[in-house]
Amino acid sequence: MYKTVLFDLDGTLLNTIDDLADAGNRMCAARGWPTHTSDQFRYLVGNGIPKLIERLAPEGHNTPAELEEAYHAFDEIYDAHMFDKTRPYPGMPDLLAELAAAGVKMAVFSNKDDALARRVVAHYFDTSLFALVRGALPDVPKKPAPEGTLALMQAVGADPASTLYVGDSNVDVLTGKNAGLPCCGVLWGFRTEQELRDAGATYLAADTRQLKQVVLGQH
């Protein structure tokens, strides 16, 4: 049984892809940049919004000033519409309650801006279930760099020997690896099972029931 579970946010706890895609496409359309489908956005997100903007910017429109302006435009649109289509994945609220009842300590670690991550989690979940919700902080390298994960573990008193990282992409698998943690890749998120296997996920979970079994050592 794992005593502490660190959850990724987008693609793991919440299906945010349509709101992210809508905000990105509105920002792009206003600038005459190419737009993309929600499926394409699955491979554009995952490394934070600044990196998303870099990936959306067409050649010749990636100066620091243009990227900064586009970032603020995206931020304004997403802030106004980030609850339009976003929903918890099926079974997720029940899973969190069941793990808490079993004595599992939980935290959220996202590449979203810290204040934004905390706001989104508070909108959809009972925040008392989490020991800490943390997003991207200034001067802390984003996932999969280990610094943020290690700092989060220290803040919640997590023992690395009994801590599991849970996420939906190769970034998350590498986040776990770089911090010396096993990672359970979830198959309901933004990326594919093959990507998670290729990255070396310790476990795979097709639904929240299987994830519960992994956490409680029943797999």
Catalytic residue list: 8
Q: Which CA distances in Å does 86 have to 13, 28, 65, 206?
A: 10, 20, 30, 20
Residue 155, number of CB atoms within 10 A of its CB: 12
Count CA within 13 A, CB hemisphere, residue 92. Answer: 21
Count CA within 13 A, CB hemisphere, residue 130. Answer: 22
Q: Which CA distances in Å does 5 have to 57, 79, 124, 141, 219?
A: 35, 28, 19, 21, 16
- DSSP class of 150: H
